Amino acid sequence: MKIIKDKKVVNDAWQVLRLHEGDAADSIVVPQGEYIVPLPVWNCQWETLRERKELGLWLGGLERAEDIPDDVNRFPVIAIDIHKYTDGRAYTLAYRLRKQYGYRCELRAMGDVLHDQLFYLKRMGFDSFAMRADQDLQRGVSGFDTFSVKYQASVDVATPLFNRIERGVA
């Protein structure tokens, strides 16, 4: 599958494990290989899964950073599933992972990820993007540079504009 990572369109090998109807978090088999598993599966099968260094984790809209029982940096990738682009919880969740929990590895936005939200998502510390199927990835790459001015601090810049740059007397 193609995704945007570090502002480039790349092939990505991660598989996302989803619980479908009839699947139970405690009994579903996580296949061998690079899988991004949902938090409930991780929590239920923690004792066995923790041996597998290659697994990633994904969080849904209602899940929170503090629900992760381990050091977040043990995951090479954490994905946040955006079920609808208007649901802004993913942005604060990203803030918490990056700023509060010190997550340093790949933070991925997946689901209803659209061109016009990439700038904000990138500011919140997302660095890879599994976009909605109808989105033009090549075009998406240009979406990171919509604005060159950032008034406020966030994950990408630690200080607000007024503390970053000498602004003239207005």
Partner 1 sequence: MYQYDKFDHQLTAERVAQYSDQVRRRLSGELKEDDFRVLRLQNGIYMQVHGYMMRIAIPYGLASSAQVHQLAHIARTYDRGYGHLSTRQNIQFNWLKLEDTPKILADLAEVEMHANQTSGSCIRSITSDELAGVARDELIDPRPFAEILRQWSTFHPEFAFLPRKFKVSVSGASEDRAAIEINDVGVQVVKNAQGELGFRILVGGGLGRTPVIGQELIAFLPWQHLLTYMESIVRVYNEFGRRDNLYKARIKILVQAIGIGEFRRQVETEWQLHKDGPSTLTEAEVARVSAAFTAPAYETLPQVDASFEAAQREDKAFANWVQRNVTAHKVDGYAAAWLSLKHPGRAPGDISADQLDVVAALADHYSFGELRVSHLQNLVLADVKQSDLHALWQEAKAAGLATPNIGLLTDIVCCPGADFCTLANARSISLSRAITERFEDYDYLHDIGDIDLNISGCVNACGHHHVAHIGILGVDKSGEEWYQVTIGGNKGTPAAIGKIIGRSFSFAQIPAVIARLLHVYVSERDEGERFIDTLRRIGHEPFKTFVYAEQIVEEEKLLLPDYEALRAAVPYELPYFSPRF
Residues of this chain that bind partner 1 (CB under 8 A): 61, 64, 85-89, 91-93, 95, 99-100, 114, 116-117, 119-121, 123-124, 146-154, 158-163, 165, 167-170
CA-nearest of 3, 95, 110 to 58 is 110
Q: Select 54 or 145, whichever has its Cβ closest to partner 1.
A: 145
Q: How far is the CB of 102 from partner 1 (least distance, A)?
A: 12
Q: Select 55 or 63, whichever has its Cβ closest to partner 1.
A: 63
The one-character DSSP state at 142 is G
Q: How far is the CB of 45 from partner 1 (least distance, A)?
A: 27
Is there a contact between 17 and 49 (Cβ–Cβ < 8 Å)? Answer: no
Residue 51 makes CB contacts below 8 A (sequence gap 6+) with: none
Q: How far is the CB of 73 from partner 1 (least distance, A)?
A: 19
Distance CA 138, CA 9 (A): 7
